[in-house]
Structure formats: C-alpha cells, structure tokens
Amino acid sequence: MKNKKWIFFLFPLFLFADIKKEITNFYKQNYPEIIIEQIKIIPLPPQKYKTIIFLLNPKRSFGNIKIDNKYYYVKIKAKIPVCIATQIIKTNQEILNRCKIKKINFKNFYSKPLFKITPDIVASKIISKNSIINESNTKKKPDVFKNSSVSVIIQSKNITISSTAKALEDGYRGDEIKILINKKIKKAVVTDKGEVKIK
C-alpha cells in the first residue's frame, strides 16, 4: 500500500511535466529571468498530445492554451526581477545608478519591465520614485536630444560653414531631423553626438 500511495502522488507531476515545461519556456522567451513557482492548468491536460497552441499574452499571468483542439485555462504564480527607480528620474536622464533590482510578483504589465540597464538607456519621460523601469518610460540615449543646442555643418558646393542650431527632435546617427537655425526650420542629418549636417 505504501508503494502505491507513493506512485499516486508522484504520477501527476510526471504526467504534466512536458506541458508545464513548454509553458515555462513560453514565458522565459519574453522574461528570461522569470522564476515560476506554480503552474495551474484547468481542466487537467492529457498525458499525451499532438499539438499545443499558446493563446497566452506573455504580459499576463493567466490565459488559455489549446491542446488538440481543446481549451485549457492556465494560471502561473511567479516572481520577476525588475528595476525600481530609487529617486525621481527626469526626462533624458540616465537610468543607471538611479534604480535598484527588486523581485516582485509577476502580474499584468502594461509595458515590459526592464531588468538589465545599460549606460545608454535614458528616461523618455519623468519617472516617479519607486516606479518600475519599463519599455514605455525609457529609450536608447539619442546622439542629439530634442531642444538641445547642436553644432551644424552647412555644405554648399566647395564652401563649408559651421554654425549652431536648436534640435527640434531626438535623433540618432544617420537620422534626418528638423532643426531651427536663423529662425528657419531646416532638415539635417545627425552625424555624431550633438552634431548635424545640412546638405
């Protein structure tokens, strides 16, 4: 009887191991650092199956999967490391050294949280203290910031003129942006940090 009881408790764990592994892999594709603690599947899935279709939204901790044309409800309990702002971060300020890593319960995120912060990540808007750093409130640091003063090279035939202007848009190397020069709006190409060129 003891052996039968032991088999009875272990059997369900091995029975659904493959499906749970596929669900785990699905979430890890979007959140490599996620720590899944529990997966519930209702009703109980089959031991063997031919096809599995994920109808889950990776930003949510619940949803549906379709196994051999039958729908199953999935609910996960997990934790995820995120970056939390340790102070108010102003627009265009660097994020690094202004946040800390914290593990929180995985929930419904309106925007994907960032876990790894590099020096080229800046705030795209004001970020409140204790807010989660995510894709919607950050951006890659541009080579030219909107409303900043830029060096302008104006090339016309064999003449090259240097001047200054105001950038009206963010820009990266190779981007064409609008600038305000001599009270006129012109288009210029970003050539380097804080530098543009008018052809």
Fold of 80-140: Type Iii Antifreeze Protein Isoform Hplc 12 (3.90.1210)
CATH class name, domain 149-198:
mainly beta
Q: Which two tokens stand for residue 119?
A: 């020096």
Residue-wise pLDDT tens digits, 125-169 = 999 999 999 999 999 999 999 999 999 998 877 788 899 999 999
The residue ranges of every structural domain in the chain are: 14-78, 80-140, 149-198
Q: What is the band of 23 on the pLDDT scale with cuts at 50, 70, 90?
A: very high
Query: What pTM value is reported for the model?
Result: 0.73
